Each structure stands twice: as structure tokens, then as C-alpha cells.
Amino acid sequence: MNEYSPIINTLLDQGVSGDTIILLLLFPVVVTIVVILRQFVGIKAFGIYTPSIITLAFVFIARERWFDIKYAVTIYVIVLFVGMVMRYVLKRFRLLYLPRVAINLSVVSFSVLVTLAVAGYFDRTGFAAAPIFPILVIITLVEKFVTVQIEKGNRTAIILAIETLFIALIGYTVLSPTTPVGTYITTFTLTHPFIVLLIIPLINLFMGKWTGLRLSEYYRFRDVIKKIQ
């Protein structure tokens, strides 16, 4: 504890949970990573908040061992698959949007519960013991997924879901205490929180002024760029 910043030690002494401190300090870092990947690289995903919160869910599900990330990804895939299937099942009933989403979320929750039970039966204790709140966070992705399905179609929804998963995996690699990079960033954040909170706005100010092409656009318009050159 002594190696942490004095403000961190004070918060811990006042009874603030260590997980709460880490979560609140890392969230700006996660959001900034998402902004960089969207603004500079060109990955779209489901906005900014959704991939950010999914990243943190992955971090907390696989916080003990890095290979537990497979459980988080499995839950993610199950949630989206069941949500997509349920949309087609409920479509024939012509229900209003909110009741339809409520039924969808309920079925997805039950499906995840069954998956955890099966994992426990086959002695997949790491899977069965996954923390509940990160799982619930992933389940809430269903509403966003269904909304995009309705507004933009299945193809766009699936692409955005894959991009969101990609961002979450990158964020997990960068922030998870089970990886060397994540260990360093977490430790640095706890020992120098004010430096991190100063750097994050500066990075976002820079990205906010960015007017150049995204990396994906360089690839997309590579033929045009070659002709111009």
C-alpha cells in the first residue's frame, strides 16, 4: 500500500474499495483507448461507452489469469447469438420495442445461467465462477445490438459487434493486471494518478483536433492516394 500515491492510500484508509478506485481511474484510460482506435485507426464499434464498459467487464472476468479471457469472449458470443436468434423469434409476435427487449434480455440471462451451470458440471470452475456484474454488463449489450439490427441491418450489427470485441480485447491486453503492459499501466495509475488524469485530457484534445485520414481510410483509398502521388 505504501508504494501507492498518498491520495490512493487515503482513499483506501477511508474504506473505499480498491476495485472501485482502479475502476474509476482506469475508465478514462479505457475511453481514451477507444477514442484512439476509432478516431485514428477507424474502427467504429458500438459507440464509445459500450466498448469501454465491455473492456472493463473483460478485465474483471479475467483478472486472475490471462487465459480466462476465453470465458469472457464465450459469454460475449453467447449473448449476441442468443439475442440475434430471439429477435427473429419475437419478430413474428409484433411486440412493442420495450417488452420485446425485456423478453430478449430475460432469455439471454437464462441462457448465460445455463451456460455457467454446464461449465460447472464439466468442472470448468473458472467459467462457472465468473463474477456476476461484468456478465450483466455484457448482457446489456443485447439492447444495443438489437437496436442496430433494426436500424441498420444484420450485417452492420455483426460487423460492429466484431469491432467492439476487437477493441475490448485490445483494451484488455493493455489494462489487464495479468499482462505485463496491463500490470505496468495499473501500477503507474495507482502511483501517479494525477499524471494519468493530466495526460488523458491532452491526448483527447489532440485527437479532437485530428483532421487527417484514419488508418483504415488510407487502406480504403490506397488506389486514389497512389494516383495522386
DSSP state of 38: I
Confidence of residue 104 (pLDDT cuts 50, 70, 90): very high
Question: Whole-angstrom distance between the N-terminal and C-terminal Cα of the chain?
Answer: 57
- What mean pLDDT is predicted for residues 139-159? 88
Cα angle: 211, vertex 159, 165; to 5 degrees? 85
Distances (CA, A) of 195 to 70, 74, 189: 33, 36, 8
Compute and round to an integer the Cα radius of gyration of the chain: 20
pLDDT of residue 1: 46
Segments making up each domain of the chain, as ranges: 15-228
Report which of 193, 195, 200, 197 is spatially closest to residue 8, judged by C-alpha positions.
Answer: 193
CA 172 to chain centre: 8
- What mean pLDDT is predicted for residues 36-53? 88
Confidence of residue 130 (pLDDT cuts 50, 70, 90): confident
Report which of 84, 25, 26 is spatially closest to residue 58, judged by C-alpha positions.
Answer: 26
CA pair distance 140, 166, nearest whole angstrom: 18
Burial of 211 (C-beta count, 10 Å sphere; 0-12/13-18/19+): exposed
pLDDT of residue 195: 87
pTM: 0.85
pLDDT of residue 229: 64
Confidence of residue 146 (pLDDT cuts 50, 70, 90): confident
Burial of 192 (C-beta count, 10 Å sphere; 0-12/13-18/19+): middle
Q: Residues with Cβ < 8 Å from 12, sequence gap 6 or more?
A: 1, 4, 18, 21
Burial of 99 (C-beta count, 10 Å sphere; 0-12/13-18/19+): exposed
- What mean pLDDT is predicted for residues 4-22? 87
CA pair distance 53, 31, nearest whole angstrom: 9
DSSP state of 37: I
181 vs 125, higher pLDDT: 181
- What mean pLDDT is predicted for residues 181-190? 89
Q: Does position 224 have pLDDT exceeding 80, yes or no?
A: no
